[in-house]
Amino acid sequence: MTRPPDPLSYLRDPLTFAFVAMALFSVVVAFIVVGELLDTPEAIANDVATLEEPIAPSVREPVEVEIPDGTGAAEIRQILLDAGVLADAGAFDTLLAFSGVTAELKAGRYEFMTGTPASEVILQLRAGGIDVDLVRIPEGLRVEEVGDILVSEAIVTSGEWDAAVTAAWQHPALADKPVDASLLGYLLPASFPFRETTTAEEAVRAMLDAFSEQVSADIRAQAADAGLTMHEVLTLASIVEREAALAEEQPIVASAFRNRLDQGIPLQADPTVQFAISTPESVEEFGWWKLGGLEQTDLDTDSPYNTYLYGGLPPGPIANPGIAAIEAVVNPADTEFIYFVASPACDGSHSFAATLEGHNANVEAFRASECAE
């Protein structure tokens, strides 16, 4: 007579039993560590030593790493692996997946010990690095304005910056840049862990690196599908960046501009005129952008950047657009809008229209509002 199989027989195999025991232990440890990660740093410091096997002090040494702004969890993991920081890369992934603190990981410069347990690494990444105060380069600035920020932070001198941005750069980010074009449009805005020892060349390279990392193959493919070169995408994105004060309106503004281009209608974008009139005299009086209102003499300025006088796109970007504006140009909202004007809500938003009649009504509403006073 055949005996029925023993449902627990697999546990009698030593190797199988060991794997099962290890799996159960890992689950328990994971839940404990996750609880600690979500708790206070003090609680983690008290208990982490009991959860992960320490690395022998004799084989550990300090190592400095930088986590760029906008770096994803997978890229952070690879940076830490390359530097020899992580003692267990799998534990790093598991703890992030269970804890849900990925969004709290901060960019910056860090000093770790090689072979650091994953829980300690995550704790430090949540607390911030040695240079917690990053240098913020806002979207929509000219190259000169970026230099002014770095000079004000005592990172570079104006002469060093001018030399760096006019050098003959060879970088993947510039693959589609016309030979005679400047770096304007390609210095991707972000927050960077610059410090006094950062050179102007290193600052430029960091911005170009950020461009290469964030302007993905998918974005380039979408540009090609739209019949646009990346230089043309950056040119239109820079105009969108200067026109749209609200990020959520960028795809709509991009749609209106692309509709104009498709229909052969001039862009008539004020920021292009502001760029065109930026002579030393104008900059001294109004700053890099004449925001107080353009006069007819400004609109009549004969420049290929003046989109009131010349159809199509200007020769190149007028500012450094952010990644959101770039994405808006290659993937605009699906609208029939051609016109837009500042909204009477006075909140930086716009009123859009698909017809001239609708646009004129929006203009009258704006002129009757407090914003026009």
DSSP, residue by residue, 230-281: HHHHHHHHHHHHHH-SSGGGHHHHHHHHHHHHHTT-----HHHHHHHT--HH
Structure-block tokens of residue 350: 């716009």
Q: Looking at residue 84, what DSSP letter applies?
A: T
In a domain, 223, yes or no: no
Residues 95 and 57 in one domain: yes
Residues 66 and 141 in one domain: no
Q: Looking at residue 177, what DSSP letter applies?
A: S
Residues 118 and 167 in one domain: no
In a domain, 207, yes or no: yes
Residues 28 and 69 in one domain: yes
Contact residues for 345 (Cβ-Cβ < 8 A; gap 6+): 369
In a domain, 52, yes or no: yes
Count of the separate structural domains present in the chain: 2
Task: Check pLDDT > 80 for residue 226.
Answer: yes
Residue 154 is predicted with a pLDDT of: 92
In a domain, 231, yes or no: no
From 92, 127, 162, the end of a domain falls on 127
pLDDT digits (tens, 9 = 90+) for 295-342: 999 999 999 999 999 999 999 999 999 999 999 999 999 999 999 999
**Contact (CB, 8 A) for 114 and 86:** no
Residues 123 and 140 in one domain: no
Task: Check pLDDT > 80 for residue 142.
Answer: yes
Mean pLDDT of 242-271: 96
In a domain, 177, yes or no: yes
In a domain, 225, yes or no: no
Give the Cα separation of 312 and 154 in Å (integer): 40
Give the Cα separation of 168 and 165 in Å (integer): 8
pLDDT digits (tens, 9 = 90+) for 189-205: 988 878 788 899 999 99
Mean pLDDT of 80-84: 93
Task: Check pLDDT > 90 for residue 45.
Answer: no
Mean pLDDT, the chain, whole residue set: 84
In a domain, 64, yes or no: yes
Residue 131 is predicted with a pLDDT of: 53
Q: pLDDT higher for 23 or 136?
A: 136
Most confident of 39-43, 53-57, 70-74, 361-365: 361-365
Residue 15 is predicted with a pLDDT of: 29
Query: Which domain covers residue 89, as residue numbers?
Result: 18-127
Residues 31 and 109 in one domain: yes
From 83, 109, 127, the end of a domain falls on 127
Residues 117 and 200 in one domain: no
> In terms of DSSP H, where are the helices of the chain?
14-37, 41-51, 73-82, 89-99, 118-127, 143-152, 158-165, 200-214, 217-225, 230-243, 250-262, 270-276, 280-286, 296-299, 323-330, 356-367
**Contact (CB, 8 A) for 276 and 305:** yes
Task: Check pLDDT > 60 for residue 8.
Answer: no
Give the Cα separation of 253 and 270 in Å (integer): 13
Residues 62 and 115 in one domain: yes
Task: Check pLDDT > 80 for residue 26.
Answer: no
Task: Check pLDDT > 70 for residue 256.
Answer: yes
CATH number of the domain at 107, please.
Answer: 3.30.1490.480
In a domain, 192, yes or no: yes
Residues 152 and 82 in one domain: no
Residue 57 is predicted with a pLDDT of: 42
Residue 101 is predicted with a pLDDT of: 85
Mean pLDDT of 219-245: 96
Poorest-confidence range of 6-20, 22-36, 276-290, 335-349? 6-20
Residue type, position 329, single letter: V
Task: Check pLDDT > 70 for residue 58.
Answer: no
Residue 78 is predicted with a pLDDT of: 93
Q: Which residue carries 């004007």 as its tokens?
A: 341
Residue 43 is predicted with a pLDDT of: 45
Task: Check pLDDT > 90 for residue 100.
Answer: no
**What 3-state class would DSSP assign to 131?**
coil
Give the Cα separation of 24 and 319 in Å (integer): 56
Residue count (the chain): 373
Residues 31 and 86 in one domain: yes
The pLDDT-based confidence of 31 (bands split at 50, 70, 90) is low
**Contact (CB, 8 A) for 105 and 93:** no
Residues 110 and 140 in one domain: no
Mean pLDDT of 48-62: 51
From 104, 127, 150, the end of a domain falls on 127
Q: pLDDT higher for 370 or 203?
A: 203
Residues 108 and 201 in one domain: no
